[in-house]
Structure 1
Amino acid sequence: MRSLLALAALWPAAALAQPCVPTSAIAADGRVLGHLPYGGVAPELLVEAPEGFALRAGCRMRAEVAADLARLLAAAASDPTTGGELRGASCHRSLTWQASVFCAESHRDPALRAISVAPPGHSEHATGFAVDFAIRPSPNCPDVAGCMAALPPYRWLVRNAARFGFEQSFPAGNKQGVKWEPWHWRWVGATAAAPGAARARFLFAKARKLYPAGPTVP
């Protein structure tokens, strides 16, 4: 049985002790600076990304996500309209990792940081259901940059990702007020009956209702 300490490590409040995340920012419904709480995922539920996907070591995700991602990558590789290769810039992030990303953001004001980076305990990456895509080749377009939306592989994602259970969490002009992130996609299963989809859809139910994805999975 997992210890109480281990369970506590998965809870969003554990991450709010970070000095760059003011406790005054916690709303009554658990949101911090506009971001919903997600907690974390037990490490034993994570697997390595499909071979050749990750740009760097340590790209892990839930097994059901990896299975559908492998199918998505195979479909993209076999389609001449893709026009490039889809790679992984970021996958699962622990609460500690997310805290370091959030606290390293250049803005001193936490509210401005939160436009670009979710506070620890409030990132979709912590669930193991989210992936940041990168594109190769990416001429004059750094990873996780808006210019990727002009590249053919991104347009292929927009047309096809839903077939494999992926939807774009933060489309342009999203109601959550988060910066448009064409690279960030969460997995919710192609259908509600897909293995693991019920858990993913439960975790993201509030986000999907209040801040619709675009493109989205039906």
Structure 2
Amino acid sequence: MPEPASMLHRTLALALLFAPTIADAQLCEGQSAAIAPDGRAFGHLPYGDAPESELVTLPSYYSVGNPCVVRADILPDLLRLFAAAQGDPSVMGQLRALSCQRSIARQRGVFCRGETSSPADRAISVAPPGYSEHSTGYALDFAVRPANGCPDAEACMAATPAARWLRANAPRFGFEQSFPGGNKQHVKWEPWHWRWVGASGSAPGAAKARFVFARARRLYPADPGVLPLVVKVTVQPPVPVAPVVAVPSKKKRR
């Protein structure tokens, strides 16, 4: 029977073997992704499509533009986040879902819109198909209404009260900002893009989401991020035991 460490290495090897096949196909007409030895494409980690059976549609009141589709596990925390923001006057507006789950096929269309630029340049702000957190169903972009002159998915959002509220409060609902400024992935700073990993590892569905993003969270920490659950174990000091003194036996006189 193989050792646990050996099984882990085999699992990782298989993941790296199969994940890049998503992007080995053409990205756009006549273009393909350059796969790094560790499986990344233009700095982005590989992700697969969320199963359709696990997707639900957010009530239209909470979204702008296209219907927002997410994993069912994310929905309770997302609705609680919207309710908390709605009830906090410091938000000075409304938070809405702008872009949620995008299939790999749809991501290809998004990535290929700007074919006048090189794939590497586009990958700074748009992940290649098969390498977007959006395909997992655990990530979404937020928008602010009213926009007050700041276009959606632009850095000016970070200066809004709603974005400041997100930074201060989103982690307690299980959301963390995937691409902070100056991130090591060299991906554009995206104050609007957040992924869900659950406020704690025991939250329903959180273990699966944390598994999906385990590598990203280890290599490229979110900021702000959901802190890992710390379990404190209290060790009782040992009880002193009195030493046992051997009593010499008396020899019988003959």
State if a TM-score over 0.5 links the two structures.
yes
Per the TM alignment, residue 13 of structure 1 is displaced from its structure 2 partner at its CA by 2.4
For 2:25, give the aligned amino acid: A
Q: Distance in 2 between matches of 1:12 and 1:38?
A: 9
Per the TM alignment, residue 16 of structure 1 is displaced from its structure 2 partner at its CA by 3.7
Instruction: Tell me which residue corresponds to 1:179.
Output: 188
Instruction: Tell me which residue corresponds to 1:141.
Output: 150
Instruction: Tell me which residue corresponds to 1:158.
Output: 167
Contact 2:47 2:135 (8 Å CA) reproduced: yes
Share of identical aligned residues, percent?
59
For 2:32, give the aligned amino acid: P
For 1:162, give the aligned amino acid: P
Q: Distance in 1 between matches of 2:107 and 2:23?
A: 9
**In the superposition, relative to structure 1, how do residues 91 and 12 fare at CA in structure 2: closer, same or farther (>3 Å)?**
farther
Instruction: Tell me which residue corresponds to 1:92.
Output: 101
After TM superposition, the runs of 4+ consecutive aligned structure 1 residues lying more than 6 A away are none
Instruction: Tell me which residue corresponds to 1:22.
Output: 32
TM, length-normalised to structure 2: 0.78
After superposition, give the CA deviation of every residue in 1:88-141 in whole Å (9 maximum; x if it has no partner): 110000111100111113552111111000000000000000010000011110
1:66 aligned to 48, 68, 75, which one?
A: 75
For 1:73, give the aligned amino acid: F
1:169 aligned to 2:178?
yes
Q: Distance in 1 between matches of 2:63 and 2:20?
A: 27
1:44 aligned to 2:81?
no
Alignment of 1:187-206 (within 5 A): 187-206=196-215
Mark the runs of 5 or more structure 1 residues left unpaired by the alignment. 1-9
Structure with the larger RCO, 1 or 2 (CA within 8 Å, 6+ apart): 1
Mark the runs of 5 or more structure 2 residues left unpaired by the alignment. 1-17, 228-254
1:127 aligned to 106, 125, 136, which one?
A: 136
Q: Distance in 2 between matches of 1:108 and 1:51?
A: 34
**In the superposition, relative to structure 1, how do residues 180 and 15 fare at CA in structure 2: closer, same or farther (>3 Å)?**
same
Alignment of 1:100-119 (within 5 A): 100-105=109-114, 107-119=116-128
TM, length-normalised to structure 1: 0.91
